[in-house]
Homo-oligomer: A and B are copies of this chain.
Amino acid sequence: MRYPLLLEESFELLETPYLLVDPKQVVKNYRRLIRAFKGDVVVYYAVKANSHPEFLRQLNREGSSFDVASLGEIMKLIRLGVRPDRMSFGNTIKKPKDIDTAYTMGVELFAVDSEMEIDKIARYAPGSKVFVRIHTSGLESDWPLSGKFGTDVEHAASLVDWARFRGLKPIGVSFHVGSQNYNPKNWEIAIKDASKVFNEAARRHHIILDFLNTGGGWPVKHTKPIPSVEEIASTIEDSVRRYIGSGILIATEPGRYMVGNAGTLVSTVILRSRRLGKDWVYIDAGVFHGLMETIENFRYEVLVYSKEDDKKKVFTLAGPTCDSVDVIYDEVELAESVTEGDRVIFVNAGAYTVEYGTSFNGIPSPRVITVEQLKTLSELNKTA
């Protein structure tokens, strides 16, 4: 099914832009992921992908753990009843005050990739468990990593030792193959790299690690074919067995995968114009209002509602602000007859959309509405 239930009804009831979300889909995604692994796996949902309370509540009920980026996310989860020992403070750049408060609240697991971060954790969260993030090279990815996170194998092994020296409990290694990764082979390469840290830690520092956090990267279907969850899970389990061995607790940090197909972004065409030899379509969502990832050329499936099967034409698609950067796609195929008032739908847009929202130009960020809320609204509307 291309569209969620009640989509058409939402057009009548809500002002665009908005993200229509289905928390039940998140539950399906979670269960499928758990089942895809033959052995145990700890799922840390990457809250930053979409922190809608209903998503977090459903995942908590399923028994998911959570990867958190800040104290703000930790406090939000605590208010929703998530136990702090089910959180991994996965950001390698943490404020001292935030480490302090997280530790006081009961968070026990922290990511590191530098001496200074270890020193801060030793000071503000003494005795805590840490894992060291490595930067893996040689990965093919749509989005090459900037080198902002992770370190090389040798440095990682010395950080394991440093963490122990500072009184922390180094338990393992993490990596990230890059968001929206299309090739399971990349997880294998990363696990092979990670295995070297396990070996070095044991050989040089006599520290036995038993935790491997395989990060995110699980893709969502947009315009290109993607490998299945089962294929990636089996690559991960096979590679861990082959390169590291048995008795390793495998973790994963899906963000995009968990919520991407649980949301549909709905916008409206404000203007169509032909100027300077190009055809432009302007909608009320944009780079600063839900579609930030498109400036890195992230390609969504974009449909003009009720004109899906019409003849197509190439347009430049832009957002509603007075900002020349606010151009979604320089070239995208849309129904040739697209015009003012048409609904433009971004399929599988549940991840990394509203989280990047601004109020730039005095235009509010897209609202989020669940299918349940929409049903209530629809019933109220009928009885009114």
Contacts and interface: CB of A to CB of B under 8 A. Distances in A.
B360 A149 contact: no
Q: State the copy count for this chain.
A: 2
Contact of A364 (B72, B149, B318, B324): B72
Interface string A280-307: 1010100010000000100000000000
Nearest to A70: B362
A23 interface: no
Interface in A355-381: 355-364
A95 interface: yes
Interface residues of A, number: 71
Interface in A302-352: 316, 318, 320-327, 340
Given A114-B271, A117-B273, A148-B318, A76 B362 contact: yes
B357 A358 contact: yes
A271 B147 contact: no
A143 interface: yes
Contact of A360 (B322, B323, B356): B356
B145 A324 contact: yes
Contacts of A74: 362
A364 B273 CA distance: 37
Interface stretch (A86-94, A219-227, A243-251): A86-94
Nearest to A15: B97
Given A362-B69, A363-B69, A326 B271 contact: no
Contacts of A273: 113-117, 151
B275 A362 contact: no
